[in-house]
Structure formats: structure tokens, C-alpha cells
Amino acid sequence: MQMDNIKPLRSRKNNLSDYKELNNLFVEKQFFEFIESELLPSISISSEKFWIELNQIIEKFSPCNTSLLAQRDVLQRKIDAWYASKKDNQFDMDSYINFLKEIGYIAPEAEPFKIKTQNIDDEVSKIAAPQLVVPVSNARFAINACNARWGSLYDAVYGSDLIPNKDGKVSEQGYDLERGALVIKYSYDFLDKAIPLQQASHNNVENYFLESSSDELNFNARLKNGKIVSLKYRDKFIGFAEFDDATSYLFKNNDLHIEITVNPYHAVGRTAPGNVSDINIESAVSIILDCEDSVAAVDSEDKINVYQNCLELMKGSLSSTFIKAGKNFTRTLNEDRSYTSKKNESFFLKNRALMFIRNVGSHMKTDIVMDNQKESVYEGLLDAIVTVGCSIAGMNSSAKFVNSRYNSIYIVKPKLHGPEECAFFNSLLDDIESMFNLPNYTIKVGLMDEERRTSCNLKECIYELKDRIVFLNTGFLDRTGDEIHTNMKLGPVNYKERIKEDVWYESYEKNNVKVGIECGFIGKAQIGKGMWAKPDEYKEMMSMKYNQLKSGASCAWIPSPTAATLHAIHYHDYAVRDYQERLKENNDEGFVRNILAPSVTSKSKLKTEMIQEELDANIQSILGYVVHWINSGTGCSKVADINNAYLMEDRATLRISSQHVANWLLHDICSKNDVIQSLNKMAVYVDRQNEKNSEYMKLTSKKNMSIPMQAAHELIFKGVDSPNGYTEEILHKYRKLLKKNS
């Protein structure tokens, strides 16, 4: 297979018979029907007003969007030229910073300020907890994520590698009794830390009971030796619920709830100390419904599915039916949990996570709507309008559940480059609020700190969103991709595993927390950290991810409900607010300087044998992800790496791998022939890794290069010229080609 044999793809001409002309727009008929028959009946805006306002927003903001994207390219060309001019001279950091200020890459520093956002839900402002990210295109996964507000600790520990596998005694129900006993021990040790008894362990309880004292109930335990003890901290008990055979006791620790269910007739409760049949803990308090990096939405069919799921989730009506073990199951959103307080008053707790919706980046376009020149419109404009509309539908009295107690709308905006782009998005939301007759600043914004120009201007970016920002999160993967691309012309990048050792990375992570605290995020907005990418390595997660809390992060991303429940243990063990208060005293002003230290190495430090290993690992990662993205439209994959360890992969990981190989090609660390040989070798390897998947379509072919292989070639060989190293345009092109040919 040779790259030269690939014929360039021609862009598909849109068939105008598939479109409806409206107010100088050409609207794909399926999308028009979704808006007319599903979205608009759920919100208080007329069809005429919606389409007029949509057109006005597109006409008003498209030129500025185009200009801002052009500015990214201009800045990159200037940086490339500066690097070229300094090749024979020693790199001087002071000169570099002055240069970045001169060209406007570094903005003038903002005066000290505090964010002014109001009407923020406790799940964002007050409660520190895990945050689950889910592709909203998958209804079943999205429902599971919403319902991951609570999780069974027994189930999470039993199904994880926290307990080593042994040949235990299995019951008739397929339950490993020895493993179960270890799970119970692990779970009771958690109770001893989170809701300790007075001078006793939950492991030694015979039974739990309530006792009246003055005007309220107290929670007590009778130990196996007959002694009666109460909680060490009595105020942690807040209520109970009674069922036919069971009683649940409710507690609160570090603003998170814990529920102990006692049932002596249950298979597990029968033998557990205190007859505890399960321990449920509050887990993913907030989630991100992702329309971006974990989603493959390339046409109206895909995009309408995304919007339909957003709409039905916000209305509380989404369901998913699937077959498991030969039986049909239907998933729906959980009803609220009902309890009686210790003062004998009824109350409810939310049983679903607070939902953010992550829009696409400003650089993406879609042809489900075209302008009066029959050109695709910016998908980010469309996303903002439609996802806000979906959120409004969840505020109506007809909605089954309420997402926000304040009727606030939560949008995450990724891949903004610097303060000007943040100001642009803020202005866009102003107009969308006007379009839907919403009060000012109803729409709250989560800002992703995942592009270099945002990292070194973070305070200035937050300032532009100060009236609506509720969330600040590092995105190390995309941030690394942008780091490689920005410094592409300066020199070769280090091995991927060593990039975290570069000076910029630690300062970037610390600066994110420092600036958030300085700008008044404590008690008002989330400061988040990145994803745990090893979905089966929970033991390792538990030994490492607590450091994100100690760094001052009030939430951190996890890939599954099980991971959410286990990571929630960390938020019981560590009071994040205490760490944040201590970090107020951190006055290190050198972070931005370190953030701008280029992440490059020298050719002499890269060893020949390790170069080949790194090249193969990168290309295996590219192919392993791209083959599923192109062939099956899977935007977020659990992909086996070159060592057959499973990792969660999305477009951010692809951005790193493709940019890494492109960088090494540019600087002659490897040759074009080396890359092609590795592509051919790794294609066979990836095909073998997927051979048990009956629906898998192979990368390898004797006659023609497969479409995913064509995409992988273009991602690598055109990576230097790909704007900011983004992969979306290439992925979309080849996915559309496959769908057209299918």
C-alpha cells in the first residue's frame, strides 16, 4: 500500500431536493421536521420566530466565527516563522514571551475580579463529586449516566479489580461467597471512615435500629457482644425509608449521601453484619452529555439522534430497550428517592445527575443547515441554539423531571482559543437568551482549558464569561495535542509517556486551580480535572485519582457508573473545600511562564529502538480508534492498545497520536516509509485484535486501501497542515464516504 495510490476525495454536492428554503437558509428536511414536530411543541416559541432568529444569529455570528478561526491560523504562521528564525540561535524565553505579547497571543493581564454567576445548583457550586462524561448519541449509556447519581458500593467493588480473583465457593445464584465476604469487608471499612460508630466498627454490628430522643430519632447499632453504640457524629444521620422487608438508613458526609439498606431476608443481607443487603452512595452528581469528542455525528441522521436524545433526557422521557442474556430490558430515568427525616418529615432526594450539554467546537461545520450561498453553517452556532432549546423543554410543567432547581441551563464549550473567542461565545449566548425570552445569564458555561492560548490567558478567558461561568476543567489530552501542534516547527516532541514530565504540564494543571480560586470559584463553581482513561483498572484508579482532590479539584472525570461509585469514596475521604482554602495562599506567579515552555526535545535523545516502539504504539492507537469511528460511527471506544490493555479513546487521544507521528515525520525522526510499514503491520495487528467481533470490517484488503486506512494516512501525512491538529474534518469526510458507499 502506498500513499500515492490514494485518489483525492471530492466533497459531496448537496441535493437541494432534500432541503427546505426558509428565511435565506436551506434546512435539511429531516432536521426541519425534528424542530417542528419535536422541539417547538415543547417550548414557548413560534415556528416563524425560531427560523427568523436562527437565520439572524447565523448571519450575525458567522463572519466573526470565520475571523476568529482565521486569527488562529495567522498566529500559528507567525509562531512558525519565529521558530524558523531562531533555529540557529539559543531559544530565549524572555524574547519568546515578548514576541507572543506583540502578536496578541498573550493578552493584556486582567485586573483582579470575582465571578458573578448566580442561580447555580448545589451539584455545581457546593458538592464535590465525580463527573461522568457520556456520548449523548447512545441512549442506553446516557440513561445509565443520568442514573449514576447513586450507585451500589457492593456491586461496584464486586465487579472491579479491587478484590483479586480467586477460585471461591459459588452459590446457586452464581455469587462468589468468598469474594462477596471481601466486598462486604471493604465496604464496611468505608463506612467506618465516612460514618464511624463510637469506638466500634460496622464489621461488628448485630443490627441497626432507631431510637426516639426528645423530638427526633437517633441511629444506633447493637454490636455482636450486645453493647449498644451510636454514631460518632450524630448529625450525619438524616433520615430513613421503610419497605416490606427492608429499611434504609440515610446519612450525609462531605455533602454526599450514603444509604445503608438492611434486609435479613436478602441473599447477601442474611449473612452480612447488621444484615446490610446493600450500601448505596451518591456518585456522579453531575454529568456531561457529550455532543463533541465522544460522538460521531456526520449528517442529519446522526445529528438529529443527538438532539432527540438531549431533548428527551431533559424532558425525562428517554427510554432504551435492549436484549441481555436473551431477555428484553427497558431503561428509563430514575424517579426521585423518598425518605422520612429524623424529625418524621417526608422529603425527597434527586435520583438523577445534573446534566451539562457539551457543544461542538467553533471550528466545526454542518450541512444540515446551509446559508444563502448554499454553504455549510457553523455547527457550534446550531448546537448552542438547539441544545438550549432542549434544555428549555425540560423546564415546562409537562416535563417529567427538573434538571435545575433554578431553571438554569448548563452548556460546556470546548476548544475556545483565548479571551476573544470566550467573548464571542458569551455574546452568542446573549442573543440566544433574547431569542428564547430567557432572563440574562440563564445559560451557564463550563469552560474547557484545553488549548494553549486559553491556558496562558486563563484569567482573561474567565473574565469574558464572569457572569455565567460555572465550571473550569483541564483537558490534558486535547491540551497535549495543541502543545504538539503549536510547537510543530520548533523541534521533535518527546515520547508520549514523557510529555507529562515536561515543565508545562504540572504548571498548567496547577495554574488551572490557582486561577479558579483567585476568580472566586470556591463555593460557586466547579474546578475539574481530567478523565481516568483505563476503564478496567479500578485498583490503580483508587491509588492515584485522589490526588486530583488534593490538588483542589471539586470534580474529576470518570468513564463509567462503576468508576463514579468507586471514585466517590475519595470525596468522602478528602474534604476538597479544605484543600482549596489552603491553596488560597499559593502565590506562585511563574506558572504562565512555565506553561509556555515549549514541549520539544532533541533528536539525539530519542533512541532508535524506542522510536520504532513509539511509532508502532501511536499507529496502533490511531488505527484501533479510527476503524471503529469510520466503520460503525463509534465516537468513544474502549480500544485495546498495543499491549492489549483497554483504554478509553476519543478524538482527543487521536489528536495526540496523529500529531505525534506528524511531528516525528517533519523532523526526520522517522521516514515516510517507516510510517507506511508500521501502518501495514499495525493494520494486521488491529484486525487480529478485533477478530472475535462479528460486525468488524477489516482494515486490510488485498485490492484497495480500506476507507479507515485512507483516513489514518491523511491524519498522519497531512497532520502538520491540519488546523490546530484537529481530526474532525478528516474523520467526517471518510465516515460520510463509507455511509455513501454502504
Catalytic residue numbers read 358, 650
Nearest to residue 257, comparing CAs of 394, 122, 408, 401?
122
CA 129 to CA 702: how far, in whole Å? 51
- Phi and psi, residue 476, nearest 5°: -55, -40
What is the rounded distance in angstroms from the CA atom of residue 256 to the CA atom of residue 202? Answer: 19
Cα distance from N-terminal residue to C-terminal residue, the chain: 23
Placement of cell 424517579 in the chain: 335
- The CA distance from 14 to 160, in Å, is 49
Cα angle 11-728-363, degrees, rounded to a multiple of 5: 90
| Dihedral of alpha carbons 14, 15, 21, 27, sign | negative
**What does the block give as the cell for 732?**
467526517
- Nearest-10 Cα torsion for 423, 426, 430, 433: 170
Q: Please list, in sequence order, all residues whose beta carbon lies within 8 angstroms of the beta carbon of residue 195, skipping any fewer than 6 positions away.
A: 231, 233, 236, 237, 251, 253, 258
Q: Which residues contact 90 (CB under 8 A, 6 or more apart)?
A: none
Give the CA angle between residues 468, 473, 479 to the nearest 5°: 125
CB atoms within 10 A of CB 248: 19
Give me the phi and psi of 128, to 5 degrees please.
Answer: -90, 125
Any residues with CB less than 8 A from the CB of 652 and at least 6 apart, and which? 293, 450, 475, 477, 478, 481
Distance between CA atoms of residues 29 and 97, nearest Å: 51
Distance CA 393, CA 433 (A): 14
Q: Would you give the distance in Å from CA 76 to the centre of its chain? A: 27
